[in-house]
Amino acid sequence: MLGRFTQRWGGSSRVTLVRELPRVHLPLTVVYATTTVALAVLPTATMIANGVLVGRLPAAAGTGVHSDATRAAVAALVLVGVLSVVAWVTESLDSLVREHLARLAARRWDQELMDAVAAPSTVAHLEDPALLDRLEAAAGRTRAGPAQAVAVVGPVLTGVLTGLLALALVARFSVWLALAFLVQAISGRVHWRARFDRITAALFGQGDLHRRSGYLRTLALTAPAAKELRIFGFAGWLRSRFDTEWRHAMAPVWTKMREGWLRSLGLSAAWSALVAIGGWMVVSSAIDGRISLTVAVITLQALMGLDGLGGISDFQHLLAEGADRLPVHHAVVAELRDRAGAEATGGAPVPAGAPNASIRFDNVRFQYPGASTPVLDGFDLEIVAGTSIAIVGVNGAGKTTLVKLLAGLHRPDAGRVLVDGTSLTDLDTAAWQRRVSAIFQDFWRYPLSARANVGLGAPERLDDHAALERAAARAGADVVVAALPHGWDTVLDRQLDGGAELSGGEWQRLALARSLFAVEAGARVLVLDEPTAALDVRAEADIYDRFLDITRGLTSIVISHRFSTVRRADRIVVLDGGRVVEDGNHDTLVARGGHYARMFELQAARYRDDRPFEAEVPA
């Protein structure tokens, strides 16, 4: 039983947690360990000092303040006071150290997760529900994570050490009583640890539901959905849905918490009974004169100090759950690093100026995980370097997927993407991605300064103000920046002090400037996925009047439903059924009377008086 107790109670996850601390901050760990031991020893020393004090009081009673007995009692009282002050100072230091160490550990582990998630050059892992569940488990956002375990591991160990020292004091009174407490403590620890394991496993098994409830909570508490939430009045529905998802996530946990409650109650009752028996034994021994008053007081205090062995505190719950998340954290980090390493294997340097000849899709097939059909199947396309090409097609035709494959964000299930004749999988993917500059339809609006929103297109050149200005001017974003209250240093989030908010079209111009700033830093492929979706007609015309200047010398790929955009491209390809079904320039495709001509006619009809307005190009 003792071996099982050591294995379960010590636990590999707790050992892993303690071993991690010196890597987080060695000096603070040394101080933390010192205060942990000190806070265990000080209560024992105080028990002894209190026993000595009480034991000396009868002899000092009535002897006067200058008697030896009184001086001995006063010395014991001073010792109790000194120990109390030392304990208070140590507790204050311990609290500061463990909280600071916990924050440093949280930063370290969050950075590890951030680096690991960003390490793979593809984004497939971020579309893997199983991995996202493990990330949720590793982070421990529901109640306790590894960082919280750092903050409580000291108090838990202090309780255990205090309990062991108290057990030694009890053993001086009765070895058999001490053994009875030890056996009871081991039985309780085995039971509670097994119970913690079951509860934690249930928590880890509900990652998807926890992510869903967390998403609903974020919707209710943050700005993006606030307007629709109020206009449509679905706040009550959102709260109800959150409650449902949360209850579904917690139902298995509650089930595990109810399991074995009778045994838990029995163990608690047995422990209380053992304390009562021990107290009766001490008191009766003192009354019979078999032990001194000093020994009686020390032993009674020791019985109360055994809670660190037999009692279960909230700190122990937090430690059990938080420490068990750390191996999950390491496993996820290792898995993502392995993925990144596998993707980087054999990556050759990207030739200067690539693409110099072409980018070619050779019989490419790609299907998203969980999808029933492939998005691209037998897809062939060659994009000549230095030319502009427009991609059109209905939603789901594979336009954005094509761009993700070109940028190395996904890898084909079959076939190849070739850059100047070399398969993209044989090149350094990260280096190739620096050659691609893209503005997607769902581009991100960073709550940072205008400078950062543009400069993150090439973060190594954030301080190149002249390049920032050129990129902004080419995108028509210079007027947007000039109108901001603090210019380039204005934070673009009204929820932050001094922040400003932009219109959709203004955000689109900044995103385009960010993409062009990447071109300033050496990107050779410019991808515009619905680049003017949020612009009005005049602003769109302004962008595309300068389109050839923006893309001159670049390989540009435009995805758009607006034919005022695509007709300016050197070449237009139409996607349908995961393949290219038409290829040519605007005039040729209109004359052919196929897919492109029908879509163009539908859109042109909106501007004729003799056709219904609702006629639209298929979205």
Do 24 and 71 share a domain, yes or no? yes
Residue 251 lies in a domain: no
Q: What is the pLDDT of residue 2?
A: 30
Do 429 and 281 share a domain, yes or no? no
Do 177 and 323 share a domain, yes or no? yes
Average pLDDT of the chain? 81
Tell me the C-alpha distance between 472 and 463, whole Å: 14
Residue 326 lies in a domain: yes
Q: How confident is the model at residue 613 (pLDDT cuts 50, 70, 90)?
A: very low
Residue 349 lies in a domain: no
Give the CB-side neighbour count of residue 325, counting CA atoms within 13 A.
33
3-state secondary structure of 322: helix
Do 548 and 409 share a domain, yes or no? yes
Question: In the chain, pLDDT over 90 holds for what percent of residues?
Answer: 21
Least confident residue range of 204-208, 263-267, 421-425, 505-509: 204-208
Q: How confident is the model at residue 310 (pLDDT cuts 50, 70, 90)?
A: low
Query: Any long-range contacts for 264-269 (C-beta under 8 Å, 24+ apart)?
Result: 264/191, 264/192, 264/195, 267/184, 267/187, 267/188, 267/191
Residue 189 lies in a domain: yes
Do 501 and 559 share a domain, yes or no? no
Q: What is the pLDDT of residue 537?
A: 61
- The answer to whether residue 422 scores a pLDDT higher than 80 is yes
Residue 265 lies in a domain: yes
Averaged pLDDT for residues 447-453: 91
Other CB atoms within 10 A of residue 174 CB: 16
Do 63 and 190 share a domain, yes or no? yes
- The answer to whether residue 483 scores a pLDDT higher than 90 is yes
Do 42 and 80 share a domain, yes or no? yes
- Angstrom distances, CA of residue 253 to CA of 202, 249, 258: 5, 8, 9
Asked whether the beta carbons of 450 and 485 are under 8 A apart, the reply is no
Do 431 and 467 share a domain, yes or no? no
Residue 593 lies in a domain: yes
Q: How confident is the model at residue 543 (pLDDT cuts 50, 70, 90)?
A: low
- pLDDT tens sequence across 203-212: 666 656 666 7
Averaged pLDDT for residues 399-406: 90
Residue appearing with tokens 């209380």:
272
CATH of the domain at 360: 3.40.50.300
Q: How confident is the model at residue 397 (pLDDT cuts 50, 70, 90)?
A: confident
Task: Quote the number of domains for the chain.
Answer: 3
Do 98 and 128 share a domain, yes or no? yes
Residue 216 lies in a domain: no
pTM of the model: 0.75
Of 294 and 130, which is predicted with more confidence? 294
Note down the domain range covering 395. Answer: 354-435+524-619
Q: What is the pLDDT of residue 311?
A: 60
Query: For the chain, how many helices (H) and strands (E)?
Result: 25, 10
Do 40 and 92 share a domain, yes or no? yes
- pLDDT tens sequence across 549-602: 677 778 988 887 777 777 778 899 999 888 899 999 888 998 998 888 888 888
CATH of the domain at 18: 1.20.1560.10
